Structure 1
Amino acid sequence: MTAGARSWWARRSLRLRLTAAAALVIAAGLASAAVLLVLWLHASLIQGLDTSALQRAEVVAADADTTPAGAEIPAADHGEVAVQIVDRTGTVVASSGNLRGRPRAFFFPASRSSTPRAHTVHGIPVGENGSWRAVGVPAGPDGSPLTVYVAVPTESVDQGLARLTAGLAVGTPAVVVLLTAVVWQLTGRALRPVEVLRAQTAEISASDLGRRLDVPPTADALARLARTLNDLLERLDTATRRQRRFIADAAHELRSPLSALRTRLDVAARHARSPETRALAVSLLRDGERLTRLVDDLLQLARLDDRPRIRTRPVDLDEIVFTAVREARHRTQLPIDQRAVGAARVLGDADALARVVRNLLDNAVRHASSRVTVSLHTQDGTARLVVADDGPGIPAADRERVFERFTRLDDARSRDTGGSGLGLAIARDVVKAHHGRTLVEDNHPGARLVVLLPAQEP
């Protein structure tokens, strides 16, 4: 088998490979059994013909002394038999009716053992000149020895074996197909617990590590595998909870001193005695605000990872967008176009969705060159929110990576826009918790960040 064939075979499902292997074994076994059956039956039937021919030859040999020359030997009761009695010179002394007047048909010497060996002969001028099984036994007195030849046709054996072979040629593939189907069903049933474990494992997310797999009520490898996976999930759950608790506690503890620091820096900026001191205080205040946003984002992510608590109720998404745009206009001088915002109602958490819109607007404002455009409409049961900018855009290779945590593209790093790299990650997690999707499209120039959420029927 070539490397390509081995690679293709390795990619097939375990059920298919087991069934194919079983089908090959079944086919080889049944084919071998069929061949052995035909060979054994052929040998058994030929042996029966040899026995019949020998018995008939012994009967004829017993009466050979009294059989007159040229006499016709009566046929056997069990069917067509060819008989000739030949003297020492090779002259036919007597024969059965079907060989009457025919020349000598047998030329092998008579066997003088207690179990004469039969011969397969052809060309006997009887019937369709098929094959015969013939024996030769000595007869007559020592002074005038004779040889009795008796042959029986193999036509019935050949026809019976031909019918049997044809039946096996049709029946064996049918049995192979039937048994293969049975093996397919049995392997599917045997592998069903594995599929159940796989499906349960696939349903466990990073925020739901407390779930466990169902252990089969057996004492086999599947039960041991399920228990091993449950132990692994337990260790992962413990380590993840410890990490999330640390992040949440650290972020919570940092909020108070950061708030106090910002207050003092604000006071220092207002009452600075020199321009240099005022500029330093303002710069430190901006850094403090940036650090505060980072701590808030970390705390939000810790809460989302722990177990998203989404308060599901009808929410007017367009009102959330209008509010977020008004707040964003206080933080930037760039124009934000909201004329394409239409009515849209979804089921979800208003605070969490407001966080999504704010994060998308903050991202657009940081990267826009001259304007930001916001649109919202409902189509085919889906609310589509688009926040677009005319900045450098997002390369196709990075459109999934921008939603990863602490991801900042090279352009954002060079501009030092103050983003923490967590805003889009939080937006995607919140949208995913609302059974929606986030994606990036081209804006020519710039980028379009799209949020798709299931819309509520009016």
Structure 2
Amino acid sequence: MGTGARFWWARRSLRHRLTAAAALVIAAGLTSAAVLLVVWLHVSLIHGLDTTALQRAEVVAADANAAQAGTEIPATDHGDVAVQIVDRDGTVIASSGNLRGRPRAFSFPASRSSTPHAHTVHDIPVGENGAWRAVGVPAGSAGHPLTVYVAVPTEGIDQGLARLTAGLAAGTPAVVALLTAVVWQLTGHALRPVEAMRAQTAEITTSDLSRRLDVPPTADALARLARTLNDLLARLDTATRRQRRFIADAAHELRSPLSSLHTRLDVSARHARSPEAQALAASLLRDSERLIRLVDDLLQLARLDDQPRIRTRPVDLDEIVFTEVREARRRTPHPIDQHAVGAARVQGDADALARVVRNLLDNAVRYARSRVTVSLHTEDGIARLVVADDGPGIPEADRERVFERFTRLDEARSRDTGGSGLGLAIVYEVVTAHHGRALIEGNHLGARLVVLLPAQEP
């Protein structure tokens, strides 16, 4: 098997490979059985012909020994049996009616053993000159030895075996196809628990490791595999919960000292006596603000990871957008265009959705050169929120990666602008928990972040 064939075979499903292997084995087995059947029948039937010819030859030889054989040997019930009695000179002294007047048709010598060996002969001038099974036995006296030849045609056997062979040649592929279909169904039934386990495993996410696989009610390898995977999920769930609890506890414990530090730095910046001290306090104040935002984002992600199923209620997304745009205008000198914001109602958590809009606006404001544009509308049951800026944009190769946690791009948008690297990750997690999608579309200038959420009828 070549490399290409092995690669093709390896890419087939387990069900296809098992069925193909079973089909090959079935085809080989049935073909071998058919060949053995034909060979066995041929040998058996030929042996029957040999026995018939020998018995007839012994009868004729007994008549010849009793000097009862005439020039023509009477016919028997065995069909076109050819009989000749030949003397030592090869002269035909008697024959069956179908060989009357014919020259000697047999050239092999008589067998002197107790079980004469039969010969396959041709060119006997009877019928269509087909194959015959012939035996020769000695007869007569010592002074006048004779040889009795009896031949039985194999035409009937040959025709019967030909019909049987044709039937097997036509029927074997049909039987192979039928058995292959049965194997296909059986393997599908046998692998159905595996497919069910695969589907259940695919539905388990890192946000919810409490789910378990259904254990088949059997005591086989599949049941043991399901129990082993459930044990693995339990260990992963325990480790993940411990990690999330640590992050949440650490973030919660850091908030108080960071808030206190921020307050003291703010006071120090306001009452600094020298320009150097005032600049240092202002720099430290900015760093503390970044630390506070980072801790808040970590705490938010920990909560999302720990409680992926959030409480929902009808929410007017357009009101959230207007509120967050007003707050964002206080943090940036760039204009924020909201004229394309229309009414949209969704089912969700108002605080979490407000965090989504806030993070999108913070991201756009952080990288915009001159303006930010916000649009919202509902189409075909989907609320489409778009926040675009005219900044350096996001390369197409990185548009999936920006939603990962602590992602830093190599382009202009990776410059140190005060972000924690978790804003878009929070957007992605919240939108996913609301059964929506967050994506980045191509934009002529800058970045265009899009959030799609299932809309609710007004």
In the TM superposition, what is the alpha-carbon distance from 1:215 to its structure 2 partner? 2.2
Please name the residue that 1:243 is paired with.
243
Match of 2:106 in 1: 106
Partner residue, 2:392: 392
- What is the deviation of 1:414? 5.8
C-alpha separation in 1, matches of 2:364 and 2:433: 23
The residue type paired with residue 246 of structure 2 is F
TM-score (ref. length: structure 1): 0.96
Partner of 1:194: 194
Structure 1 position 307 matched with structure 2 position 307: yes
**Contact persistence 1:135–1:149 (CA under 8 A):** yes
Q: Give the aligned CA root-mean-square deviation in angstroms.
A: 1.5
* Kept after mapping to 1: 8 A contact 2:394/2:413: no
The verdict on how the C-alpha distance between 1:298 and 1:412 changes in structure 2, with shifts beyond 3 A counting, is farther
Match of 1:354 in 2: 354
Structure 2 CA distance for aligned equivalents of residues 124 and 370 of structure 1: 111
1:292-303 to 2 correspondences below 5 Å: 292-303=292-303
After superposition, what is the alpha-carbon deviation per residue over 1:20-78, rounded to whole angstroms, capped at 9, x for unaligned?
Answer: 11111111111111111100000000000000011111111111242566x22111113
The SS at the match of 1:211 is: coil
Alignment-mate amino acid for residue 138 of structure 1: P
Q: Bigger CA drift: 1-10 or 404-413?
A: 404-413
Distance 1:10 1:225 in 2: 23
**Quick check: 266-275 or 386-395, which moved more?**
266-275
Q: What is residue 204 of structure 2 aligned with on the other side?
A: 204
What is the distance in 2 between the residues matched to 1:153 and 1:307?
91
**Could you tell me which residue of structure 2 aligns to residue 260 of structure 1?**
260
Residue 378, structure 1, aligned to residue 390, structure 2: no
1:48, 1:457 → 2: CA distance?
Answer: 90
**2:35 — aligned with what?**
35
Query: Residue 183 of structure 1 aligns with which residue?
Result: 183
d(CA) in 1 for partners of 2:389, 2:243: 36
**Structure 1 SS opposite 2:106:** coil
1:323 — aligned with what? 323
Secondary structure of the residue aligned to 2:175 is helix
In the TM superposition, what is the alpha-carbon distance from 1:326 to its structure 2 partner?
Answer: 1.1
Higher deviation after alignment, 163-172 or 305-314: 305-314
Summarize deviations over 1:223-260 as a string: whole Å, max 9, x none: 22222212211211111111111110111111111222
| In 2: Cα distance, 1:150 partner to 1:191 partner | 64
Counting aligned pairs with the same residue, the percent is 86
Shift of 1:278: 2.8
Tell me how far apart the structure 2 counterparts of residues 113 and 451 of structure 1 sit (CA, whole Å): 101
**Matched position secondary structure for 2:369:** coil
Q: Is residue 2:94 matched to residue 1:94? A: yes
Deviation by residue 1:177-219 (Cα, 9 ceiling, x = unmatched) = 1111121122222222222222221111111112222222333
| Offset at residue 357 of structure 1 (A) | 0.9
Q: Which residues in structure 2 correspond to 1:9-88 (within 5 Å)?
A: 9-65=9-65, 66-67=67-68, 71-88=71-88
2:320 is paired with a residue of what secondary structure? helix
What code does the residue aligned with 1:129 have?
Answer: N
User: Contact (CA 8 Å) 1:212, 1:230: kept in 2 or not?
Assistant: yes
Query: Which stretch shifts more, 304-313 or 411-420?
Result: 411-420
TM-score of the superposition, structure 2-length normalised? Answer: 0.96
- Tell me which residue corresponds to 1:451: 451
Give the secondary structure class of the aligned counterpart of 2:231.
Answer: helix
Distance 2:89 2:68 in 1: 17
**Which residue of 2 is the match for residue 127 of structure 1?**
127
Kindly provide the CA deviation profile for residues 309-349 of structure 1, in whole angstroms up to 9, marking residues without a partner as x. 42222111111111111111110011111111122211111
Distance change >3 Å, CA 457–CA 413, structure 1 → 2? closer
Q: Is the 8 A contact 1:387 1:448 kept in 2?
A: yes
2:341 maps to 341
Q: Using the alignment, how far apart are the partners of 1:434 and 1:366 within structure 2?
A: 26
What amino acid is aligned across from residue 383 of structure 1 in structure 2?
A: A
Q: What is the CA–CA distance in structure 2 between the aligned matches of 1:303 and 1:354, rounded to whole Å?
A: 16
Residue 420 of structure 2 corresponds to: 420
Number of residue pairs matched by the alignment: 457
User: 1:171: which partner in 2?
Assistant: 171
Q: Is the 8 A contact 2:63 2:69 kept in 1?
A: no
Aligned equivalents of 2:411, 2:56: Cα separation in 1: 108
Contact persistence 1:328–1:362 (CA under 8 A): yes
Give the Cα–Cα distance (whole angstroms) in 1 for the partners of residues 93 and 414 of structure 2: 121
Amino acid at match of 2:380: D
Deviation at 1:150, TM superposition (A): 0.7
- CA distance, structure 2, for counterparts of residue 241 and residue 80 of structure 1: 95
Distance 2:335 2:323 in 1: 15
- AA paired with 1:339? H
Query: Where do 5+ consecutive residues of structure 1 fail to align?
Result: none
Mapped contact 1:389–1:443 kept (Cα < 8 A) = no
Corresponding position of 2:138: 138
Deviation of the 1:415 alpha carbon:
3.0
Show structure 2 runs of 5+ residues with no match: none
What secondary structure sits across from 2:397 in the alignment?
helix
Asked whether 1:217 is paired with 2:214, we answer: no
**What SS does the aligned partner of 2:79 have?**
coil
**Alpha-carbon deviations, 1:353-389, whole Å to 9, x = none?**
1111111111111111111111112222211111111
Give the distance between the partners of 2:207 and 2:424, measured in 1 at CA. 18
Q: Is the 8 A contact 2:385 2:452 kept in 1?
A: yes
* Offset at residue 404 of structure 1 (A): 0.5
SS in structure 2 at match of 1:366: helix
SS of residue paired to 2:152:
strand
Instruction: Find the aligned partners of 1:227 and 1:290 in 2 and give their Cα distance.
Output: 46
**Distance in structure 2 (CA, Å) of the matches to 1:25 and 1:285:** 78
CA distance in structure 2 between the aligned counterparts of 1:406 and 1:191, rounded to whole angstroms: 41
Contact 1:133 1:152 in 2 (8 A): yes
SS in structure 2 at match of 1:168: helix
Q: Within 2, Cα distance between the matches of 1:343 and 1:401?
A: 31
